[in-house]
Structure 1
Amino acid sequence: MTRRLLRRFAWLMLGAAIGLATALLVVSLLAVVAPGLPREVVVLVTVLAGAGLGLVPGARELEVTAARTMLDADAELVVPRRPRWAHRRQTMAWVVLHQLAGVLVGVGLFAAVPAAGLVLVETVTGRAGTVVDVPAAPAARAALAAAAVVVGLAGLAACWPVGAVAARWAGRFLGPTASDRLELATSRAAREAEHTRLARELHDGIGHALTIVSVQAAAGRRVGGQDPAAAAAAFATIEDTARDALAELDELLAVLREDRPGAVAPVDLAGVVETHRRAGLVVDARLDLPAGLPPLLQRTVQRITAEALTNAHRHGTGPVRLVVSAGAGVLTVEVSNPRGGRTSRRGGGRGLAGVRERVALFGGTVEAGPEGEHWVLRATLPLPERSDRA
Structure 2
Amino acid sequence: MRHLHRPLTTAARPFTSAHTYRRWAYLIIGGALLTPYAMAGLVLATLITQGGTAQESPGPGGWVLGLLITLAALAATARVPAVAGAQHQLARALLRGPLNLLPDTPPAPGARTFVWLCLFTFTGMAVCLATMVGLTESALLAVAPLTGDPLAPAGPLTVLGPSPEPVPSPLGPLAGLALLLAVIAAVALTGHLMARLAPRLLGPSPASLLADAQARARTLAERNRLARELHDSLGHALSVITLQSATAARLIDTDPDFARQALTHIADQARTATADLDHALGILREDTTAPTAPPPDLTHLTHLAETASHTGTPLRLALDGDPRAVPALLSRETYRIAQQALTNALTHAPGRPLDLTLDIAPRHLHLTATNPLPPRRPLGRRRTGGRGITGMQERAHLLGGTLTAGPHPAADPTHWTLDLTLNWKDTDTP
TM > 0.5 = yes
Query: What CA deviation, in whole Å up to 9, does each residue of 1:249-299 have, x standing for no partner?
Result: 233333333422134235411100110012112222122333244433222
Distance 1:293-1:53 versus aligned 2 partners, 3 A rule? same
CA contact (8 A) 1:285 1:321 kept: yes
Residue aligning to 1:105: 127
Distance 1:174-1:273 versus aligned 2 partners, 3 A rule? same
CA contact (8 A) 2:106 2:204 kept: no
Distance 1:365-1:40 versus aligned 2 partners, 3 A rule? farther
1:291 counterpart SS class: helix
Question: Distance between the aligned counterparts of 2:178 and 2:419, measured in 1?
Answer: 81
Query: What CA deviation, in whole Å up to 9, does each residue of 1:73-123 have, x standing for no partner?
Result: 6824666477286xx42x334323322332222223446788999xx9xx9
1:221 counterpart SS class: helix
Distance 1:320-1:113 versus aligned 2 partners, 3 A rule? closer
Query: What CA deviation, in whole Å up to 9, does each residue of 1:35-89 have, x standing for no partner?
Result: 987899779858965873673323322323433455566824666477286xx42
- Match 2:375 to one of 341, 345, 351: 341
How many angstroms does 1:196 deviate by? 1.4
Question: Distance between the aligned counterparts of 2:425 and 2:337, measured in 1?
Answer: 18
Task: Tell me the amino acid that sits aligned with residue 60 of structure 1.
Answer: A
Q: Within 5 A, what are the aligned runs for 1:277-296?
A: 277-287=309-319, 288-296=321-329
Distance 1:113-1:314 versus aligned 2 partners, 3 A rule? closer
Residue aligning to 1:322: 356
Query: 1:241 aligned to 2:274?
Result: no
Query: What CA deviation, in whole Å up to 9, does each residue of 1:214-245 have, x standing for no partner?
Result: 11122223333333333233223222222222
Task: Tell me the amino acid that sits aligned with residue 354 of structure 1.
Answer: G
Residue aligning to 1:350: 387
Residue aligning to 1:378: 419
Task: Tell me the amino acid that sits aligned with residue 311 of structure 1.
Answer: N
2:90 counterpart SS class: helix
Residue aligning to 1:369: 406
How many angstroms does 1:208 deviate by? 0.3
How many angstroms does 1:21 deviate by? 4.4
Query: What CA deviation, in whole Å up to 9, does each residue of 1:195-218 have, x standing for no partner?
Result: 212221111111101111111122
Residue aligning to 2:90: 66
CA contact (8 A) 1:108 1:153 kept: no
CA contact (8 A) 1:336 1:376 kept: yes
Question: Distance between the aligned counterparts of 1:202 and 1:248, measured in 2?
Answer: 7
Distance 1:341-1:271 versus aligned 2 partners, 3 A rule? same
Query: 1:270 aligned to 2:270?
Result: no
Question: Distance between the aligned counterparts of 2:106 and 2:87, measured in 1?
Answer: 16
Normalised by the size of structure 1, how large is the TM-score? 0.75
Normalised by the size of structure 2, how large is the TM-score? 0.69
- Match 1:96 to one of 110, 115, 118: 118
Distance 1:189-1:152 versus aligned 2 partners, 3 A rule? same
- Match 2:26 to one of 7, 11, 15: 11
Query: 1:312 aligned to 2:345?
Result: yes
Query: What CA deviation, in whole Å up to 9, does each residue of 1:114-149 have, x standing for no partner?
Result: 8999xx9xx99xxxxxxx9846xxx85956x98x98
1:286 counterpart SS class: strand
Residue aligning to 1:184: 212
Question: Distance between the aligned counterparts of 1:387 and 1:69, measured in 2?
Answer: 52
Residue aligning to 2:252: 224
Query: What CA deviation, in whole Å up to 9, does each residue of 1:329-351 have, x standing for no partner?
Result: 202211112222369x9996311
How many pairs are equivalent?
372
For structure 1, which segment, 73-82 or 172-181, has the greater mean C-alpha deviation from structure 2 after superposition?
73-82
Query: 1:194 aligned to 2:227?
Result: no
CA contact (8 A) 1:109 1:152 kept: no
Distance 1:368-1:40 versus aligned 2 partners, 3 A rule? farther
Question: Distance between the aligned counterparts of 1:229 and 1:61, measured in 2?
Answer: 70
How many angstroms does 1:16 deviate by? 1.8
Task: Tell me the amino acid that sits aligned with residue 83 of structure 1.
Answer: A
Question: Distance between the aligned counterparts of 1:112 and 1:353, measured in 2?
Answer: 66
Residue aligning to 1:260: 289
Task: Tell me the amino acid that sits aligned with residue 303 of structure 1.
Answer: R
For structure 1, which segment, 38-47 or 170-179, has the greater mean C-alpha deviation from structure 2 after superposition?
38-47
Q: Within 5 A, what are the aligned runs for 1:77-96?
A: 80=105, 83=108, 88-89=111-112, 91-96=113-118
Residue aligning to 1:127: none
2:323 counterpart SS class: coil
Question: Distance between the aligned counterparts of 2:109 and 2:376, measured in 1?
Answer: 58
Distance 1:260-1:342 versus aligned 2 partners, 3 A rule? farther
CA contact (8 A) 2:31 2:121 kept: yes
Query: What CA deviation, in whole Å up to 9, does each residue of 1:342-386 have, x standing for no partner?
Result: 69x999631122222222232111122223322221212223417
